[in-house]
Structure 1
Amino acid sequence: MEAAADLVEGFADRGKVIATAESCTGGMIAAGLTDIAGASSVLDRGFVTYSNAAKTEMLGVPTALIEAHGAVSEQVARAMAEGALAASRADVAIAVTGIAGPGGGSVEKPVGLVHLAVASRRGSFHREARFGNVERLGVRRETVALAYAMLAEWLAAHDTAATDP
Structure 2
Amino acid sequence: MRSLDELAKTVGKTMTARDLTLATSESLTGGLLGAVITSVPGSSAYYLGGAVAYATAMKARLSGVERGILATYGVVSEQTVTEMAMGIQVLTGADWAIAVSGVAGPDPQEGTPPVKCGSASSARGSARWIRPSSRTASSSTVTGRPSASRPSRPAWNCCWP
TM bucket normalised to smaller: 0.7 to 0.9
Distance change >3 Å, CA 78–CA 111, structure 1 → 2: same
Equivalent residues in 2 for 1:14-163 (5 A)?
Answer: 14-104=18-108, 109-120=112-123, 123-131=124-132, 133=133, 135-145=134-144, 151=160, 153=161
* Counterpart Cα distance in 2 of 1:17 and 1:149: 21
Distance change >3 Å, CA 48–CA 143, structure 1 → 2: same
Q: For 1:48-69, what per-residue CA distance to the aligned partner results, in whole angstroms no more than 9, with x for missing partners?
A: 0111221111222111211111
Q: For 1:70-100, what per-residue CA distance to the aligned partner results, in whole angstroms no more than 9, with x for missing partners?
A: 1011110011011011111210100111011
* Counterpart Cα distance in 2 of 1:71 and 1:150: 17
Residue 13 of structure 1, CA deviation: 1.5
* Counterpart Cα distance in 1 of 2:86 and 2:116: 21
* Counterpart Cα distance in 2 of 1:149 and 1:25: 14
Query: Residue 160 of structure 1 aligns with which residue?
Result: none
Q: Structure 1 residue runs of 4+, over 2 Å off?
A: 102-106, 144-151
Q: For 1:123-155, what per-residue CA distance to the aligned partner results, in whole angstroms no more than 9, with x for missing partners?
A: 511111122x2x32211111124557654x4xx
So what's the TM-score if we normalise by structure 1? 0.80
Aligned residues: 147
So what's the TM-score if we normalise by structure 2? 0.82
* Counterpart Cα distance in 2 of 1:78 and 1:33: 20
User: Is 1:13 the counterpart of 2:17 in the alignment?
Assistant: yes
Report the identity percentage: 30
Residue 10 of structure 1, CA deviation: 1.8
Considering only aligned residues, what root-mean-square deviation do their CA atoms show, in Å?
A: 2.0
For structure 1, the 5+ residue unaligned runs are 154-165
* Counterpart Cα distance in 2 of 1:142 and 1:128: 12
The 10-residue stretch of structure 1 (36-45 or 2-11) with the greater mean CA deviation from structure 2: 2-11
For structure 2, the 5+ residue unaligned runs are 145-154
